[in-house]
Amino acid sequence: MKLIISSVSGEPIYEQIKTQIRDAVLNGELKAGEGLPSLRKLAKELRISVLTVTRAYNELADEGVVRNIQGKGTFVMDKGNELMMRQLETQVRGSLAEAAKAAKAAGIPLERLGEMLAEEYDKTQ
Answering whether pTM is above 0.85, one says: no
Q: Domains of the chain, with CATH numbers?
A: 13-76 (1.10.10.10), 82-123 (no CATH)
Residue 58: how many CB atoms within 10 A of its CB?
Answer: 15
Give me the pLDDT at residue 109, please: 96
Answer yes or no: are the C-beta atoms of 50 and 58 closer than 8 Å.
no
Mean pLDDT of the chain: 91
pLDDT digits (tens, 9 = 90+) for 60-72: 999 889 999 999 9
H-state helical runs in the chain: 13-26, 39-46, 50-63, 82-106, 110-123
Give me the pLDDT at residue 63, please: 86
Give me the pLDDT at residue 23, please: 87
Those residues whose C-beta lies under 8 Å from the C-beta of residue 84, and which sit 6 or more positions away, are 25, 64, 65, 77, 78
Percent pLDDT > 70 in the chain is 97
pLDDT band at residue 53 using 50, 70 and 90 as cut-offs:
very high
